[in-house]
Amino acid sequence: MRAVVQRVAEAQVGVDGKTVGSIPGGLLVFLCMMAGDTGDDEAWMANKLGLLRVFVDAGGKMNRSLQDLLTTPSPAGVLLISQFTLAAELGPGRSKGNRPSFRAAMSPEEAAAAIGRMALALQQRGFLVASGVFGRHMQVHSVNDGPVTLWLDSKATHG
């Protein structure tokens, strides 16, 4: 499972000119389900997203997580966007052309269910979760805060 995670001051996603999800601040997560991902990858990612220490503390250091912010007057949320293009193969192993291959991505049917499970896992941890619409063309608007942008890969970070 791969994710690009951005700390945001606000974020929203629209489909066909209508806002379908928004958060007042927190994490914008572009999430790609990879072929071979399991429930272990989903649990790892949900846990990692909740515990990433990317929010500033009183001393100005990135020392607080979404979990830490649950009890604050304005808790942060997660805007979850399915992003199969994070599975793109573009490296030197590709012998010809410049068009990315997405064969490493999970099938759309399986990925839609897995994205739904990820949203539920985050909600069960107490987080405000909004999302886009799987398989649709979306317009994502955000105000990156910092900027802070991280790349997570469940396979690269835990056997």
Q: Which residues are catalytic?
A: 83-85
Tokens of 10: 């606000």
Measure CA 125 to chain center: 15
Nearest to 23 by CA among 81, 83, 76: 76
Q: Are strands 128-131 and 77-82 parallel, antiparallel or unpaired?
A: parallel
Nearest to 49 by CA among 83, 87, 6: 6
Tokens of 43: 């649990």
Residue 16 CB partners (closer than 8 Å, separation 6+): none
User: Is the CB of residue 115 less than 8 Å from the CB of residue 8?
Assistant: no
User: Is the CB of residue 55 less than 8 Å from the CB of residue 62?
Assistant: yes
The kind and range of the H/E element at 40 are helix 39-51
